[in-house]
Structure 1
Amino acid sequence: MSDTSTPANKGRDLTEGSIAKTMLLFALPTLGSSVLQSLNGSINAVWVGRFLGEEALAATTNGNILMFIMISFVFGFGMAATILIGQAMGRRNDTMVKKTMGTALGSIIPISVLLATGGWIFAPALLELLGTPPSAFELALTYLRMIFIAMPVTLTFTLMMMALRGTGDSTTPLWFIAMSVVIDLILTPILILGLGPFPEWGIFGSAFATAVANTLALIGMIVTLYWRGSVLTLSMPELRFLRADLSILKSMFSKGLPMGLQMIVISTAALTMLSLINREGVQTTAAYSATQQLWTYVQMPAMALSAAASAMVAQNIGANQWNRVSGITRWGLIFNLILTGTMISVLTIFDESVLALFLGSDSPAVPIGRHIQLMATWGYLFFGVAQVLFGAMRANGYVVWPLIVMVISMYPVRLGFAFGLYPTLGADALWLSFPAGMVATAVMGAGLYMYGGWRKGKILPSEEAAQTAEGYRAHGGTCSSCRDMAPTTSWKQVQEPG
């Protein structure tokens, strides 16, 4: 049955109070989580680059981008689950939250096992397709296969964190990411260098340390959620929810597939770009890898604000408080300009020192990395604008047109710019293509937000079924109008702002 109470163990209510304050209280822990994850990745990259060499650093870049493309569909699946959970929380429907969580877990675990198996088998072919430099190939293969082995744990951990944010809780993921990072930072140098009684595993040790850290953090998170009595946990009778509810699964795939395809579009465009960058030589690939570490930090405020916008808008739609949606988007854009602008300024000032951490102060790749950073990093201001707008729109299941925007921005714009102007500008065409794509995404995203039909439409299919079933049960199964609508209802809510 629907539960109208909102105790602390069920997350944060995002439908009341100051919008700016609520967004900051949600976004800052999410930003902190991203900082910790990226700092961990950066420190690991320092260990790999300084102690194993530029070939090993290039190997991790090729391995990580392939990992990213493999999990993209699952990411969209998880985002759809987050939206469903957020809207169910707004409606105070605990049963739907649990059903959604059960369906997500019961589906993502076998999917991740299949991806891991396929990734292990086809890893050599994938690296060859990418054009991985021969000197880095064996290192990249070792690294990538360990990542694939750890995929079920990694994806389940990611799903749990996304689901918690759907309930309005962005703090618990922060603590367990911190736990994972601390473990990883301790194990990585030990296993890379073989300190003490531990074996010297090199690049394999870096990936293995991350897998162990994520596994322990996931176990800790699950235990904590049960200890708290979180709305996301399933009691023994509720374990039946792990058998996928078809209406919820349909919603997850219909909304998650376009979001996953957005990630695929970004990933395949990045793969194509990396294949072009690889042609410039190992030093340029290593410089680009180090610059990507800077870009990871620059884009973190935008991603945190996008997550905050999605969670807040989803809960407010669920509570039918459309009057708050425009304010949420407006504050997201304001905070993006402040936070992302600050990150760009700080990293521009200190880029040489930071790049030297990954490459060594005397590396010839450092000036290449500085040039890449100066040419392209400013575009992330527009990236942030697009992410906030997309975050608000996807909270109502509006995902197809943002996908189309992403396809246009990544292919005709970014890749067209890179290929078309390379004969004239040389490698600069590659670096300038990044902000070109980001500006195009922001402009088209703003057009969708202002003139698209994302505010209108029916509630998500699983929510329709849930409301119908709730109404049917509330009347003891005697309400003829409820009975007539269940379970094939086409009940719609036309949702206008305000």
Structure 2
Amino acid sequence: MRLTAAERSNSTGEAPLWREMVRFAIPQTASAALQLLSGTITAIYFGQLLGPSALAVASAFFPIFFLLVSFLIGLISGGVVLVARAHGAGDILQVKSAAGTTLSVCALLSVAVAIVGYRISPELLEIMATPQDIMTSAIDYARVTFISLPAVTLVFAYMFLLRGTSDVQTPLLVMVIYIGITLVLTPAMIQGWCGLPQLGVTSAPWASFIACAISLPCLIVYLRVRRHPMAVDREFLRRLRIDSKIAAPFFGIGVPGGIQTAVTSLSEVAMVALINPFGSSATAAYGAVNQVVGYLLVPMQAFGLAATVFAAQAIGAGKPDRLGKVTRIAITLDLAVGISTVIALGVFSRAVLSWFVVDPATLAIAERALLISLWSYVLAGVSEVLAGVMRSTGTVVWPTVIALAAIWLVQLPAADLLSRWVGLEGVWMGYPAGFTAALVVQLAYYGLIWRGRSRG
């Protein structure tokens, strides 16, 4: 079964490529920004309705949870590439097979992580030196979060795979539904509105679980009505299994991505360890800076994903000559958005950071940290575009090695060394050092090695 010419217009270049990338990036940016905003509002709910101890519970558990699921998040990238290639080739059955294999793997792994995480939650929280006064609440929060993990994984994996067909509007629509439900149910279950049980700190993960239980059927019905290539029909159900022919390229692309995501998340734990000795104000400043940086990264990551998807579709369509054009346009858009955002945040840094911190000393630390490191995230965005294009062709090991080496051999050692020489500001300088090193080596590998192989 093949897609019609109209259905393949996004992958065959009938519209200007830069316009298609912008159309892809805007909804993708909005969707990711909604996720960030949802997390911010949930933190406000906890802080205002339950007090600082509830916020501490979520903060204590999040690094553990993200580390455990980060591999799963990166693994999905393999499925997106395969779906995009099949879509570019106009092969609907292959689209369904790639999606079915990805969802099957995600379901099995998420259930395994959920079972193990549920059982060892107390031990994990002990390792993180969670304060005893919040230990019981933290265990409850962790266990409910693990219970909800399989449902959350399926919804988000399905939405992510849709982007491989250049469909970013549907994931945005589902995200609006999902977040709307969680933002209503979380305070409702904190305070027991309309006869609902008062669930305290577990209200957020329970709200997430319920939101997934509602969003997934809505997504399935919507795709069936639209006759979407990834609609759950009889043929899709037949292919909802791990296909051995797809599993090899899926794991070949996804496993390095999963390793990179997991090890990168671990590096942030190491950065916190370098910052903590400078006091609670420094730690609080780190959290505020991360909030701001998150919103900067959203559009740049959207262009990185667009580069991956459009390059993979070009490969599937048998047009590898378009990879250079995809790369140039994605980098140009990434730089345009990144540089303008950095300038705006630099000018209004104090005002923006004051949304997250009010203490003058903490605000001063955060502002200085933002001005030192913010510009370098533009370099990280360009690196992500290059890695995404290479990933689309199946070249994943060396881009992953380069990214991880830049973190663990440049960023962290530089942060440690510079902090001994110039104090806290030296820690923030580690980010530009690592991002610069990563971009220089990625550019060298892309231009001197990968491009020659791809042409050959």
Q: TM-score, normalising length from structure 1?
A: 0.84
- In structure 2, the partner of 1:244 is 242
Q: Report how many aligned residue pairs link the two structures.
A: 456
- In structure 2, the partner of 1:5 is 4
Partner Cα distance (2:200, 2:363) in 1: 24
Deviation at 1:390, TM superposition (A): 1.0
Moved more, 174-183 or 135-144: 135-144
Deviation at 1:217, TM superposition (A): 2.0
Partner Cα distance (2:187, 2:166) in 1: 36
Partner Cα distance (1:323, 1:249) in 2: 27
Confirm whether residue 372 of structure 1 aligns to residue 369 of structure 2. Answer: yes
- In structure 2, the partner of 1:408 is 405
Partner Cα distance (2:304, 2:344) in 1: 22
Deviation at 1:364, TM superposition (A): 5.6
Q: Is the 8 A contact 2:92 2:229 kept in 1?
A: yes
Deviation at 1:125, TM superposition (A): 3.1
SS at match of 1:105: helix
SS at match of 1:13: helix
Instruction: Give the counterpart of 1:103 among 88, 101, 107.
Output: 101
Describe the superposition over 1:317-373 as per-residue Cα deviations: whole angstroms up to 9, x where unpaired: 1112223211111111111112122222333344444444444x3576444433332
Name the CA shift for 1:6/1:54 in 2 (closer, same or farther; >3 Å). farther
Moved more, 106-115 or 38-47: 38-47
Moved more, 373-382 or 171-180: 373-382
The aligned amino acid for 2:368 is: H
Confirm whether residue 496 of structure 1 aligns to residue 450 of structure 2. Answer: no
Partner Cα distance (1:333, 1:163) in 2: 23
Q: Is the 8 A contact 1:85 1:100 kept in 2?
A: yes
Pairing 1:205-354 to 2, within 5 Å after superposition: 205-236=203-234, 238-354=236-352
SS at match of 2:450: coil
Deviation at 1:55, TM superposition (A): 5.2
Confirm whether residue 443 of structure 1 aligns to residue 440 of structure 2. Answer: yes
Deviation at 1:447, TM superposition (A): 1.4
Confirm whether residue 386 of structure 1 aligns to residue 345 of structure 2. Answer: no
SS at match of 2:374: helix
Q: Aligned residues: percent identity?
A: 31
Q: Is the 8 A contact 1:161 1:173 kept in 2?
A: yes
Name the CA shift for 1:45/1:176 in 2 (closer, same or farther; >3 Å). same
Q: Is the 8 A contact 2:9 2:15 kept in 1?
A: no
The aligned amino acid for 2:214 is: L
Instruction: Give the counterpart of 1:113 among 108, 111, 114.
Output: 111
Instruction: Give the counterpart of 2:15 among 14, 17, 26.
Output: 17
Q: Is the 8 A contact 1:50 1:358 kept in 2?
A: no
Deviation at 1:123, TM superposition (A): 2.8
Partner Cα distance (1:151, 1:142) in 2: 14
Partner Cα distance (2:346, 2:211) in 1: 32
Q: Is the 8 A contact 2:87 2:95 kept in 1?
A: yes
SS at match of 2:258: helix
- In structure 1, the partner of 2:150 is 152
Deviation at 1:166, TM superposition (A): 0.5
Partner Cα distance (2:350, 2:53) in 1: 21
The aligned amino acid for 1:428 is: E
Instruction: Give the counterpart of 1:73 among 71, 74, 79.
Output: 71
Partner Cα distance (1:266, 1:79) in 2: 16
**Structure 2 stretches lacking a partner, 5+ long:** none
Partner Cα distance (1:56, 1:14) in 2: 51
Partner Cα distance (1:334, 1:237) in 2: 40
Q: Is the 8 A contact 1:12 1:169 kept in 2?
A: no
Describe the superposition over 1:442-467 as per-residue Cα deviations: whole angstroms up to 9, x where unpaired: 221111221223663xxxxxxxxxxx
Partner Cα distance (1:441, 1:59) in 2: 35
SS at match of 1:3: coil
Pairing 1:60-209 to 2, within 5 Å after superposition: 60-132=58-130, 140-195=138-193, 197-209=195-207
Deviation at 1:117, TM superposition (A): 1.3
Name the CA shift for 1:147/1:85 in 2 (closer, same or farther; >3 Å). same
SS at match of 1:169: coil
Name the CA shift for 1:301/1:240 in 2 (closer, same or farther; >3 Å). same
Name the CA shift for 1:246/1:12 in 2 (closer, same or farther; >3 Å). same
SS at match of 2:11: coil
SS at match of 2:455: coil
Q: Is the 8 A contact 2:327 2:389 kept in 1?
A: yes
Partner Cα distance (1:368, 1:422) in 2: 14
Describe the superposition over 1:397-444 as per-residue Cα deviations: whole angstroms up to 9, x where unpaired: 110001111221111111111222332233223222222222222221
Deviation at 1:129, TM superposition (A): 3.5
- In structure 2, the partner of 1:422 is 419
- Normalized per residue, the structure richer in helix is 2
SS at match of 1:398: coil
The aligned amino acid for 1:125 is: E
Partner Cα distance (1:258, 1:406) in 2: 11
Deviation at 1:200, TM superposition (A): 4.2
Name the CA shift for 1:29/1:208 in 2 (closer, same or farther; >3 Å). same
Name the CA shift for 1:60/1:417 in 2 (closer, same or farther; >3 Å). farther
Name the CA shift for 1:202/1:352 in 2 (closer, same or farther; >3 Å). farther
Partner Cα distance (2:55, 2:280) in 1: 10
Q: Is the 8 A contact 1:57 1:289 kept in 2?
A: no
Q: Is the 8 A contact 1:83 1:311 kept in 2?
A: yes
Describe the superposition over 1:48-100 as per-residue Cα deviations: whole angstroms up to 9, x where unpaired: 34454555445434433322222222223211111111111111111111111
Partner Cα distance (1:249, 1:214) in 2: 27
Moved more, 288-297 or 191-200: 191-200
**Structure 1 stretches lacking a partner, 5+ long:** 457-494
Partner Cα distance (1:348, 1:186) in 2: 34
Q: Is the 8 A contact 2:230 2:236 kept in 1?
A: no
- In structure 2, the partner of 1:432 is 429
Deviation at 1:14, TM superposition (A): 5.2
Partner Cα distance (2:133, 2:422) in 1: 28
CA RMSD of aligned residues (A): 2.5
The aligned amino acid for 2:204 is: S
Partner Cα distance (1:193, 1:442) in 2: 49
SS at match of 1:347: helix
